[in-house]
Amino acid sequence: FIAVENIDSYCVLISSKAVYFLKSGDYADREAIFLEVKYDDLYHCLVSKDHGKVYIQLTKKAVNTSSGVAMPGPSQQKPMVRIQ
């Protein structure tokens, strides 16, 4: 556990191994996690703004890479979370 940040109707929990996005409420309940991104699976993180709203886009590494090179995955591997 490193930090917790409350944002509107959810919470971001940062640990030494992953980032967790949780629905507000009981943070001890595993069912509250709606997005978990492990650092080993993370390719990069991008913050973007659109019409006054701020988003974090977390690009996950491709699931299978024959060359062993970390490449961004397909579009479903780029979850976006609105933070403002």
Domain count within the chain: 1
Three-state secondary structure call for residue 56:
strand
Give a yes or no: residue 66 inside a domain: no
pTM for this structure?
0.64
d(CA 28, CA 25) in angstroms, rounded, equals 9
One pLDDT digit (tens) per residue for the chain, 84 residues: 788 877 777 888 889 999 888 887 665 677 888 888 888 888 888 888 888 888 888 888 776 556 555 555 554 476 667 665
Q: 75 in a domain, yes or no? A: no
For residues 49 and 67, give the distance between their C-alpha atoms in angstroms, rounded to a whole number. 34
Which among 1, 42, 40, 38 is positioned nearest to 18, based on CA atoms?
Answer: 38
Q: Which residues of 52-69 are buried (b: 16+ CB within 10 A; e: fewer)?
A: eeeebebbbbbeeeeeee
Q: Has residue 84 been placed in a domain?
A: no
Domain assignment of residue 40, given as a range: 3-60
What pLDDT sits at residue 55? Answer: 81
